[in-house]
Structure 1
Amino acid sequence: MGTVTRGVRVPVWVLGLVPLLLIVGGLALFALLDAPGLGERRGPPAEELVVERTVLSPGEIALTVRNDGPDAVSIAQVVVNDAFAEFTGPAEAVGRLETATVRVVQPWVEGEAYEVALVTSTGGTIVHEIPVAVETPSADLGFFGLMALLGLYVGVIPVALGMLWLPWLRRVPAAWLRGLMALTVGLLGFLAVDATLEGLELAGEGSQAFGGAALVFLGAGVAYLFLSGVSSWLRGRSGSSAMLVAAGIGLHNLGEGVAIGAAYAAGALALGAFLVIGFAIHNTTEGLAIVAPLARTRASLGRLAGLGLLAGGPAVLGAWIGSAAYNASIAAFLFGFGAGAIVQVIVTLMPSLRDETGRTLHPTAVTGILGGMALMFATGLLVAA
């Protein structure tokens, strides 16, 4: 009769830890031996500097730069409009992903365009354009108050006005309501596309080392998954669709506020009456999108006010961020975040478009979706800068 030999039972956590330790040990050995066999890289250094922020004060242009390349960069000279200029900068070379401030002595003239070229120690040139020179406002209490007022004008007030359509929505026939829900989907679809395009444009201006355009899609994915979890948690609660719509629009308005605040601080946006009216008309349609899911439910005045603040309030926060601490990479992520949130809201609302036969894209729904996109496009023309 043979004997049965039982092996030693290894804990599960050990089986999972061993490959990880081998990977860490291999990488440490590779670094310790100074990458054996690879040798030194040939060719000129790869120097990449990205200008993340420009601050203009009387007689000075301050540029905040980030090293986006693999090699350290030393700034040797600064040229403004083809003339050498005095400057103060970092004492040591700027390492990968590090930031530094270059202060250029330049008696600039308001309204004029300037080209600032940073010449590195190896002869490389990084060119930064200032289309319109204007003094950067100081971030004091009065300035933040102005940004809050701007956020109210373009976010909170227009959304609140659009929500005044609720009494009318409650009296329209069911077929009309499906058409209005389709109109809401069209409005949101346009916002999602618009946010994605703006995010991709900003991603091209920011640091590519942090992901570039991938930040937009990363933000979209994070927002979609986050709101999907929130939607599952809220399922079955009264007015959950309206809350999701308000949250999606709020995230979009956060990115929009960042862009508006940054443009105003850089002098590329004037607070004219026509622009405010244009934003009011454009964003009023967002209020309609919020109250459409509430047409057959009851909602208190306090709840409606909360939904309006959830949708429009982030524009105030965005204006503060954009004017005081603007970063193209962060702005691109936020626009992607807003786009992903809106896409998730659209997915949630699509079942509400079904008619008596179960069709989702019936003629009324298609007409409403196209009408919503056309309406947002038409009102968007009023705020094109």
Structure 2
Amino acid sequence: MSGRSIGDLPRSVLALGPIVVLAVTFAVLYITSPFGNLAGIDEASTLEIVWMLTVIGAIAGIIPVAIGMLWFPFIRDLDPRYLHAFMALAGGVLAFIALEMTDDAIDHAGAAENTLLAGGLVVLGVAATFGVMYAASKWRQRQMVTTEKSGLEIAYLVAIALGLHSIGEGLGIGTYFIQGESTQVMLLVLAFVMHNVMEGPTVVAAVARDHATPPLHHFAAMGVIAGGPVILGGWIGSFAQSDLLAALFFAIAIGAILQVLIEVAELIRFDAETVLTRVNAATFVTGFVLMFFLEDVLVDLLLEGWLLPV
């Protein structure tokens, strides 16, 4: 018994287990409505606001990413061809997020007082972030003693890119929170729980192709890096509501994700030499379509009250 691990569970359990955990989490949030009535938020102290937004951000960001990471044992045992396909699926998820954030950055830049300045910051933010991460990647590759590609390093880059994106999610939560809109806060949290659960396997997909499974603290760190910035975004959204700032954050996240997409493609090419296969192309499109369904279909139904009473 002492030698058994979670990886020894049946494949069906490893595949469906995270879905069950997600459903239970979603049901508990829906039934308990833990955020209560925010009508008296004006009377709350700064410390109370920071604490409540920390709890809300952890529920919306860190917990669903952690749930998604539970798919790691299932991904780990995939045939290399299907592992590459899963990494391509993660690329599709990232590509959709980048496209969505481009739309958000344009919207916020257009709503800013100085549209020209905001637009310039968006372009600069994307280019500068991409350039810095690209230069850091090349430096890291030159410093590596061997030619072995590290999936763990790529996973951390994915987590950082998703973390930058998570700030934007927190901005929305913080804005509604400080306005006392408890229903909107609850709906956003439920929407982000569904959406962010896909970030878990997106982060750990690259790790699965490494020979050794990294210690648990790496998974914990990547989960906090990817989902934790929802908390930071909530703080910013509640105390410093700014379209200019939001546009800049989205631009930084876009630049980071574009660089990470290149890293993921290079990681697949290192193992397989060919990135664009039929299977990889199909799973890339699947990841994109899946995120469209979660983000633009289910989330819209939630916010419009079709799935939950508003």
1:272 positional shift: 6.2
Counterpart of 1:366 in structure 2 is: 281
Using structure 2 for the length normalisation, give the TM-score: 0.75
Is the aligned partner of 1:331 residue 2:246? yes
- Relative to structure 1, the CA distance from residue 271 to residue 263 in structure 2 (aligned partners, 3 Å threshold; closer, same or farther) is closer
Is the aligned partner of 1:206 residue 2:112? yes
Is the aligned partner of 1:259 residue 2:175? no
Counterpart of 1:175 in structure 2 is: 81
Q: Contact 1:354–1:361 (CA<8 Å) still a contact in 2? A: no
Which structure's CA Rg is the greater one? 1
SS at 1:200 equivalent: helix
Letter in 2 for 1:257: G
- Relative to structure 1, the CA distance from residue 351 to residue 145 in structure 2 (aligned partners, 3 Å threshold; closer, same or farther) is same
Q: Provide the identity percentage.
A: 34
1:231 positional shift: 1.9
1:280-299 superposed matches below 5 A: 280-297=193-210, 298-299=213-214
1:209 positional shift: 6.0
Is there any run of 5+ residues in structure 2 with no aligned partner, and where? 1-38, 304-310
The 1-side partners of 2:274 and 2:104 are apart by 33
1:146 positional shift: 1.3
Letter in 1 for 2:239: A
The 1-side partners of 2:224 and 2:274 are apart by 34
Q: How many residues align?
A: 252
- Relative to structure 1, the CA distance from residue 179 to residue 319 in structure 2 (aligned partners, 3 Å threshold; closer, same or farther) is same
Q: Contact 1:353–1:361 (CA<8 Å) still a contact in 2? A: no
Is the aligned partner of 1:307 residue 2:222? yes
Q: Contact 2:96–2:288 (CA<8 Å) still a contact in 1? A: yes
1:45-56 superposed matches below 5 A: none
Counterpart of 1:14 in structure 2 is: none
Could you tell me which of 210, 217, 221 is aligned with 2:123? 217
CA RMSD between the two structures: 2.3
Higher normalized helix content (fraction of residues): 2
Counterpart of 1:243 in structure 2 is: 156
1:274 positional shift: 5.2
The 2-side partners of 1:274 and 1:252 are apart by 19
Q: Contact 2:176–2:185 (CA<8 Å) still a contact in 1? A: no
1:362 positional shift: 1.5
Q: Contact 2:130–2:255 (CA<8 Å) still a contact in 1? A: yes
1:172 positional shift: 0.8
Is there any run of 5+ residues in structure 1 with no aligned partner, and where? 1-133
